[in-house]
Structure 1
Amino acid sequence: MITTKGLTKVYRSRGRDVVALDDVDLHVRQGEVFGVVGTSGAGKSTLIRCVNLLERPTAGTVTVDGVELTALAGSEQRAGRELREARRRIGMVFQHFNLLSSRTVQQNVELPLEIIGLDRHDRRRKAAELLDLVGLADKARSYPSQLSGGQKQRVGIARALAGDPKVLLSDEATSALDPETTRSVLKLLRELNQQLGLTVLLITHEMDVIKSVCDSAALMRGGKVVETGQLTDLLADGRSQIARDLFPLGDFGTGREDRTVLEITFQGDAPAQPFVSQLARTYQIDINILGAAAETIAGRLVGRMRVELPGSHTDNVVPIGYLRQQGLQVDVLDLSNGAAA
């Protein structure tokens, strides 16, 4: 649904070039919630603004729903019309709501419909439907100043849906909200994704957002995508930084040569199996649990556990094989650098 190839954005600042995006390739599948996570300055917001061409890329292509938007970004009048039409299929939710204080909630939602020339009766009907969809039917005549932060963001979401988009872009839409309100807004985005078949691309600096709502994710650093994939695949990869950030497990272990530290990833039915106690009984070994975490991600129960076994890696080949036979992802940590061996 969304594909970028070689996407590059360079700004000129104080006589020097600043690279905000550096050869970014990204693919978001139809109907999924895709999260882009990274620290401030990683290039996340520039990326999402290039997807709908609010920022013109310096190089590369952007394709949304089969239409290459960058090919429509020329100066010709026809290309401009086609680009505007393509943008109507892309909704945008902003961090700071961007509501007009002089308009009521309903009038804010009607604004994009007014711009495209829809008559008053149809505007009101459509706005009422959208406010009901986001749970604000009773706030239609209120003004933004009378709303909470979460309610303002729901108005922003309703407005973004006014053009019946196939894609919804969310630029840090929950970063200004408290945790409880954040959860309710993320739940709404997931419901809209499922009910309307929306493809959602969201930008965030919070791993909890990725954990709670996303099907796939990408990690950005310094304008580059350094890791991307479906969450279930990333969590099964012992080298994944996203997986480590989602499930921080603390210290790696004692660092002694006569110990083996394992990272065990389990998904689906595996968490219901008492594999640690079974392993201890079967091989009569003492197991030290260093850390564990489990969450429901993309509708599946997923978790990670770090354990320490007595003896070297060679001594533990059979117990490691036993764990893998149970359908578990098992990685042996190199204690010198904390990475999977």
Structure 2
Amino acid sequence: MITTTDLTKVYRTRDREITALDGVNLHVREGEVFGVVGQSGAGKSSLIRCVNLLERPTSGTVTVDGQDLTALAGGGNRASTDLRRARSRIGMVFQHFNLLSSRTVQGNVELPLEILGLTGRERSRKALELLDLVGLADKARSYPAQLSGGQKQRVGIARALAGEPKVLLSDEATSALDPETTRSVLQLLRDLNRQLGLTVLLITHEMDVVKAVCDSAALMKEGRVVESGTVAELLSTQGSELARELFPVGGRPSSEGRTVVDVTFHGETTTEPVISQLSRTYNVDISILGAAMDTVGGKQVGRMRIELPGSFEDNVVPIGYLREQGLTVDVADVAAAPEDATDATEAVDTTGAEDTVDKGADGGTDGEAAPAAGQQTARAEEVAK
């Protein structure tokens, strides 16, 4: 549905050039929710504005629904008639709502319908339908100043849907909202994606947004896409930076000469006691340094950081066993904990910590994060319990 090929955007000032996009290749499939994540300055907003040609790319192509928008742009600064027509099928939701304070909620939704030339009766009917769709039918005659942030964003979404777009672009649409409101807006986007068959491309710096609604994701750094794929693929890819960002787990080895491994559980492995089986099978002491579990795309996914005694060469067989069980295993490059931290670790009451973390790793919790085990070492027979 959306494809960018070698997309480049260079901003030129009097004395220098700034490359915001550096050969970006991206493909968003029809009907999916695709998230682009990255830190500020990574080029995310430039990318989404180039997708509908609010920003003209310096080079490269943008194809939306089979149309090469860059070929429709023309040579001047003003959009051609063909480009304006193509843009009408691409809705956009902005971070700061961009509502007209002098217009009612209904009036804001009717604005693009006016531009499209619909009659007053048609505009009114369509606007009220859209407001009902986003849950604001009772706010039609209110003004933006009378609405909460979440309600304003819902108006922005209704306005973006006015042209019956096939594609919806969202530029940090939830970054100005509180967590609860963010969840409701994201759920609305997911519902619209399913009900209307919308393809949604959203820009965010929040990993929770990707976990909540995205089918696929891409990580941007310094104007480049460094990693992309479906969320399921990324979580099962060894060494995936985006997977580490989605499920960060901490913890350092208790001393030198130990191997720290990050294990990702997905699919059926989330309900299997794999760590217990490993300890029992190879009679190996395992320290659980940290663990987390969450739901992605309706499926449980977990990550755990464990410590194995000895060097990597000493643990080739146990690590191979984990991979044979369908787990994604990455050897973490972390420094040993400082010696003066040992006493503090030993002073923590770890009663029952083993059981809690084992449940978190093996799917026994309801999607809650399992607490870190404070570098507690579990002998084979204890973990087996």
TM range (shorter): over 0.9
Q: Quick check: which has more Rg, 1 or 2?
A: 2
* Map 1:38-49 → 2, pairs under 5 A: 38-49=38-49
Aligned to 1:275: 274
Using the alignment, how far apart are the partners of 1:203 and 1:253 within structure 2?
A: 36
Using the alignment, how far apart are the partners of 1:255 and 1:223 within structure 2?
A: 39
Using the alignment, how far apart are the partners of 2:182 and 2:111 within structure 1?
A: 25
- The count of corresponding residues between Structure 1 and Structure 2 is 334
- Superposed CA deviations along residues 3-42 of structure 1, whole A, max 9, x for unmatched, are 0011111111232111111111111111111111111111
Aligned to 1:314: 313
- Measured at CA, do residues 327 and 239 of structure 1 come closer, stay the same or move farther in structure 2, by a change above 3 Å? closer
Using the alignment, how far apart are the partners of 1:166 and 1:252 within structure 2?
A: 47
**Could you tell which deviates more after superposition, 187-196 or 271-280?**
271-280
1:335 Cα deviation from its structure 2 partner:
4.9
Aligned to 2:175: 175
- Superposed CA deviations along residues 112-155 of structure 1, whole A, max 9, x for unmatched, are 11111111111111111111110101111111011000000000
Give 1:322's aligned amino acid: Y
1:103 Cα deviation from its structure 2 partner:
0.9
Give 1:10's aligned amino acid: V
Aligned to 1:329: 328
Instruction: Check whether the contact 2:32–2:215 (CA below 8 A) recurs between aligned residues.
Output: yes
Give 2:171's aligned amino acid: D
Instruction: Check whether the contact 1:287–1:310 (CA below 8 A) recurs between aligned residues.
Output: yes
Secondary structure, aligned partner of 2:60: strand
Percent identity over the alignment is 73
**Could you tell which deviates more after superposition, 217-226 or 195-204?**
217-226
**Could you tell which deviates more after superposition, 233-242 or 111-120?**
233-242
Secondary structure, aligned partner of 2:332: strand
- Measured at CA, do residues 255 and 20 of structure 1 come closer, stay the same or move farther in structure 2, by a change above 3 Å? farther
Give 1:224's aligned amino acid: R
Aligned to 2:289: 290
- Superposed CA deviations along residues 89-110 of structure 1, whole A, max 9, x for unmatched, are 1000001101111111111111
Secondary structure, aligned partner of 2:80: helix
Aligned to 1:220: 220
Using the alignment, how far apart are the partners of 2:316 and 2:22 within structure 1?
A: 43
Give 1:319's aligned amino acid: P
Using the alignment, how far apart are the partners of 2:296 and 2:3 within structure 1?
A: 24
Give 1:312's aligned amino acid: S
TM-score calculated relative to the size of structure 2: 0.83
1:237 Cα deviation from its structure 2 partner:
2.1
* Map 1:82-231 → 2, pairs under 5 A: 82-231=82-231
List alignment gaps of at least 5 residues for structure 1.
none
Using the alignment, how far apart are the partners of 2:38 and 2:328 within structure 1?
A: 26
**Could you tell which deviates more after superposition, 313-322 or 132-141?**
313-322
**Could you tell which deviates more after superposition, 297-306 or 103-112?**
297-306
TM-score calculated relative to the size of structure 1: 0.93
**Could you tell which deviates more after superposition, 9-18 or 181-190?**
9-18
Give 1:328's aligned amino acid: L
Secondary structure, aligned partner of 1:108: helix
| Residue 262 (str. 1) matches residue 261 (str. 2) | yes
Instruction: Check whether the contact 1:255–1:335 (CA below 8 A) recurs between aligned residues.
Output: no
* Larger strand percent: 1
Aligned to 2:239: 239
Aligned to 1:19: 19
Instruction: Check whether the contact 2:252–2:335 (CA below 8 A) recurs between aligned residues.
Output: no
1:75 Cα deviation from its structure 2 partner:
4.2
Instruction: Check whether the contact 1:213–1:298 (CA below 8 A) recurs between aligned residues.
Output: yes
1:45 Cα deviation from its structure 2 partner:
0.7
What root-mean-square deviation, in Å, do the aligned CA atoms of Structure 1 and Structure 2 show?
Answer: 1.7
1:187 Cα deviation from its structure 2 partner:
0.8
- Superposed CA deviations along residues 254-299 of structure 1, whole A, max 9, x for unmatched, are 4622x22222111122111111122222222221011111111122
Aligned to 2:33: 33
Give 1:103's aligned amino acid: R
List alignment gaps of at least 5 residues for structure 2.
337-385
Give 2:112's aligned amino acid: P
Using the alignment, how far apart are the partners of 1:333 and 1:75 within structure 2?
A: 51
Give 1:185's aligned amino acid: V
Using the alignment, how far apart are the partners of 1:305 and 1:71 within structure 2?
A: 49
Secondary structure, aligned partner of 1:269: helix
Using the alignment, how far apart are the partners of 2:55 and 2:177 within structure 1?
A: 26
**Could you tell which deviates more after superposition, 87-96 or 312-321?**
312-321
Secondary structure, aligned partner of 1:250: coil
- Measured at CA, do residues 88 and 262 of structure 1 come closer, stay the same or move farther in structure 2, by a change above 3 Å? same
Instruction: Check whether the contact 2:5–2:61 (CA below 8 A) recurs between aligned residues.
Output: yes
Instruction: Check whether the contact 1:324–1:330 (CA below 8 A) recurs between aligned residues.
Output: yes
